[in-house]
């Protein structure tokens, strides 16, 4: 099967690639970027029916583990995909490895974080590769695609109020007078707003805020010996913010 890519720098310009040229150790996203392509627009058989983007934009680490285990379970003994049984086993193994790293992330160890990121990259790559193979084998049949636990692309719908951000973690920064804030991603959030104020709050509380397209941020210029109240909210098309539960930080040093 052939993939068709659109190059935004050259209008009406398309390039084709046989999916057999992509092995499980290559990232579809890396291929696209290396060739200046921004979008996997169409398959030659018609409009894309299967999602191949497993990046942090669509899946938090925990969500990716769940997706990986779901796909592995659904592919196992699936009569539509007898050639993907070994792939199902590999996906389960990589999902389990990533989940193991997540269990130890509370320590904030940089080496562990790097290993977790590498494990995530491996899982993203094989899920993307598998999605392309499923699209090929299924012939675009939505019932066969959904039987794998993979998601199909849907027409854009208006995005309402986003879900509440959870798992907000705050720790002392490596530089004096800073705090490092991290959180789990929210589906369809284009960026995040972090607001904070001194603890206890004034009445009315005076918040400072920063925005980030990533799921972490460093707050600087803080008062030494002071604790702060921190909240995070996803930013989408709806102006309303659904703030996370308040987190009271340790004393800034």
Helix (H) or strand (E) segment spanning residue 209 = strand 208-212
Task: Report whether pLDDT(167) > 50.
Answer: yes
Q: What is the pLDDT of residue 225?
A: 94
pLDDT digits (tens, 9 = 90+) for 79-107: 999 999 999 999 999 999 998 888 777 66
Q: What is the pLDDT of residue 128?
A: 92
Q: Are 35 and 73 in contact (CB under 8 A)?
A: no
pLDDT digits (tens, 9 = 90+) for 220-231: 999 999 999 999
Question: Residue 75 class from Cβ within 10 Å (0-12 exposed, 13-18 middle, 19+ buried)?
Answer: buried
Nearest to 181 by CA among 221, 232, 227, 224: 232
Question: Measured between alpha carbons, how far is residue 133 from residues 2, 51, 76, 87, 147 in Å?
Answer: 11, 12, 15, 11, 14
pLDDT digits (tens, 9 = 90+) for 124-138: 999 999 999 999 998
Distance CA 97, CA 53 (A): 20
Reduced to 3 states (helix: H, G, I; strand: E, B; else coil), residue 216 is strand
Distance CA 46, CA 74 (A): 25
pLDDT digits (tens, 9 = 90+) for 49-77: 788 889 888 888 888 999 999 999 999 99
Q: What is the pTM of this model?
A: 0.47
User: Left if phi > 0, otherwise alpha if psi is -120 to 50, otherwise beta: which for 34?
Assistant: alpha
- Of the candidate ranges 31-45, 82-96, 149-163, 182-196, the one whose mean pLDDT is the lowest: 31-45
Instruction: Give me the domains of the chain, ranges plus CATH numbers.
Output: 2-146 (no CATH), 169-248 (2.60.40.10)
């Amino acid at each position: 099967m052939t993939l068709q890519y659109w190059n935004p720098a050259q209008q009406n310009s398309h390039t084709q690639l046989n999916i057999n040229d992509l092995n499980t150790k290559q990232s579809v996203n890396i291929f696209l970027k290396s060739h200046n392509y921004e979008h996997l627009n169409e398959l030659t058989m018609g409009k894309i029916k299967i999602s191949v983007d497993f990046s942090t934009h669509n899946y938090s680490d925990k969500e990716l583990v769940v997706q990986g285990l779901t796909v592995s379970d659904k592919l196992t003994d699936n009569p539509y995909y007898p050639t993907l049984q070994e792939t199902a086993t590999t996906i389960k193994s990589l999902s389990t490895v990533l989940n193991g790293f997540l269990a130890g992330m509370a320590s904030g160890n940089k080496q562990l974080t790097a290993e977790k990121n590498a494990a995530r990259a491996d899982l993203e790559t094989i899920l993307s590769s598998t999605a392309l193979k499923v699209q090929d084998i299924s012939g675009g049949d939505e019932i066969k695609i959904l039987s794998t636990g993979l998601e199909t692309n849907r027409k854009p719908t208006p995005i309402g109020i986003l879900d509440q951000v959870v798992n907000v973690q705050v720790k002392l920064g490596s530089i004096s007078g800073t705090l490092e804030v991290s959180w789990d991603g929210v589906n369809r959030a284009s960026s995040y707003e972090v607001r904070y104020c001194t603890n206890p709050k004034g009445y009315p509380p005076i918040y400072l805020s920063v925005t980030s397209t990533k799921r972490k941020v460093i707050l600087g210029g803080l008062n030494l010996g002071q604790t702060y109240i921190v909240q995070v909210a996803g930013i989408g098309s709806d102006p309303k913010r659904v703030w996370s539960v308040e987190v009271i930080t340790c004393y800034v040093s």
